[in-house]
Amino acid sequence: MDYSWTPEQDELYAGILRFARENLNATTLERDRTRRFGEEEWKKCAGFGLAGLCIPRESGGLGLDCLSTARALEALGRGCSDGGLGFSLSAHLFACAVPVHLHGSPDQKERYLARLASGEWIGANAITESEAGSDAFALKARARKEGDGYVISGEKSFVTNAPVARLFLVYASTAPENGFLGISAFLVERDTPGLKAGRPMETTGLTTSPISSLYLDDCRVPASALLGREGAGGSIFKDSMGWERSCLFAFWLGALERQLEETVDHAKSRRQFGHPIGSNQAVSHRIADMKLRLEAARLLLYRACWERAAGHPSELAASLAKLAVSEAFVASSLDAVQIFGGSGVMQEIGIERYLRDALPGTIYSGTSEMQRELIARALGLPPRRP
């Protein structure tokens, strides 16, 4: 078993890390406080190719495979202190651009992919509803055929990037009687009459990632807005979640690495009772546990990415990776706050922001409970009766 990266992957990692450290951190604290999306930082990321990491070169992306994409995002997460920016970028990529790349018609790819890959257009994914969270396919949003197109109606919640997105991948039921197989996916442009983004939500973490509800009021789209075929929406969404659970969380691996470095530095330099606090086992063992969580989560994540890159992605591997990284981030962020003591809860130090950014991670892309459910099913444990 070979765990090494290729020279190209090492170069990619080093280049993105340097880019992120030099370009993306100057205003994080101020924008975190004011809940402001980093438009300039987005443009810089886009200019560096980060909005289209795994989109083919002929469509304006970097054409990276799944492993290299994750490695690139890990570098970004290590170098960029703006977790909301990384989250917005990843949501744009995996929940909108990738589905267009994988399932779009030649016309849809022609119209959207280069714009998404270049970051000129920001993408969003709209599936969650107030009554369809973990039960993501219990959608109330409906799309009915009318003339040569569809009319979509419904309300979507927690749509990452909605306040700034130009393109929405909207999931709605075209045949409610068919449940999961009655869901269809539509590409809806921002200026479509009947589509309206709500007021940005005030979330605990990821404050610089603009998130809002999305309202579709008899929103009329042409037949060409259908992504894939009618009834394929569930499959498209499941596929994009596989990408998201495998790759998106690589960004947080990078954040965990940075958090660990900062915590080790602090434990070496902070002295109490005449000694560095890191000489106390109560502190050093916490740090050892942080390292253990990071490395274990990293192995699981790259295992999932390797399976995907090799052409046999598994839901089990993606769920294990997502669960491990997201829960490691919460646990290690609590440890970091405790080790930093008073300064750990001061906003300007940045340590408490890890914890705030970590909290939503056990919820979005499928809650920890749903990941454990998927893992249990993969082990052959019986499902709950319908």
Show which residues are catalytic. 244
For other proteins, the closer CB: 60 or 182: 182
383 binds other proteins (CB under 8 A): yes
Which of the stretches 82-90, 152-160, 207-215, 376-384 binds other proteins when contact is defined by CB under 8 A? Answer: 376-384
* Comparison of 174 and 263: residue with beta carbon closer to other proteins: 174
The CA distances from residue 217 to 29, 51, 101, in Å, are 37, 30, 28
Q: What is the DSSP letter of 40?
A: H
> Between helices 315-340 and 233-243, what is the axis angle to 10°?
50
Taking the C-alpha atoms of residue 333 and residue 237, their distance in angstroms, rounded to an integer, is 30
* Binding status of residue 239 toward other proteins by CB under 8 A: yes
Residue 219: strand, helix, or coil: strand
Whole-number minimum distance, CB 319 to other proteins, in Å?
13
* Closer Cβ to other proteins, 49 or 182, answer by number: 182
Any residues with CB less than 8 A from the CB of 366 and at least 6 apart, and which? 134, 241, 245, 319, 322, 374
Q: In angstroms, what is the minimal distance from the CB of 238 to other proteins?
A: 7
Tokens of 50: 């980060």
Q: Are 358 and 123 in contact (CB under 8 A)?
A: no
Among 16, 73, 136, 164, contact with other proteins (rule: CB under 8 A) = 136
Question: What is the distance between the alpha carbons of residues 309 and 124, in angstroms, rounded to a whole number?
Answer: 24
Give the binding range for other proteins (CB under 8 A) out of 3-11, 61-69, 81-89, 231-239. 231-239
Select 155 or 373, whichever has its Cβ closest to other proteins.
373
- Number of Cβ within 10 Å of residue 47's Cβ equals 13
By CB under 8 A, residue 180 contacts other proteins = yes
Query: Shortest distance, CB of residue 137 to other proteins, whole angstroms?
Result: 5
Q: Select from 5, 137, 215, 306 the one that contacts other proteins (CB under 8 A).
A: 137
We find the least distance from the C-beta atom of residue 67 to other proteins, in angstroms, to be: 23
Does residue 134 interact with other proteins by CB under 8 A? no
* Candidate list 228, 278, 313, 344; residue touching other proteins; CB under 8 A: 228
Between 98 and 294, name the residue whose CB sits nearer to other proteins.
98
For other proteins, which residue of 177, 202, 281, 282 counts as binding (CB under 8 A)? 177
When the beta carbons of 345 and 376 are compared against other proteins, the nearer one is: 376
Shortest distance in whole angstroms from residue 383 CB to other proteins: 5
Q: Are 120 and 67 in contact (CB under 8 A)?
A: no
Q: Which is nearer to other proteins, 274 or 311 (CB)?
A: 311
Instruction: Confirm or reject binding of residue 21 to other proteins (CB under 8 A).
Output: no
The verdict on 375 binding other proteins (CB under 8 A) reads no
Phi first, then psi: what are they for 192, rounded to 5°? -70, 125
Phi, psi dihedral angles at 211 (to 5 degrees): -130, 135
Interatomic CA distance for residues 225 and 152, integer angstroms = 11
Q: Which long-range contacts (CB under 8 A, 24 or more apart) does 46-51 make?
A: 46/118, 46/119, 46/120, 47/119, 48/16, 48/19, 50/16, 50/76, 50/89, 50/119, 51/89, 51/92, 51/93, 51/97, 51/116, 51/117, 51/118, 51/119
Task: Choose, by CB under 8 A, the member of 29, 114, 232, 264 that binds other proteins.
Answer: 232
Q: What residue ranges bind other proteins (CB under 8 A)? A: 136-137, 175, 177-182, 228-229, 231-232, 234-236, 238-239, 373, 377, 382-383, 385-386
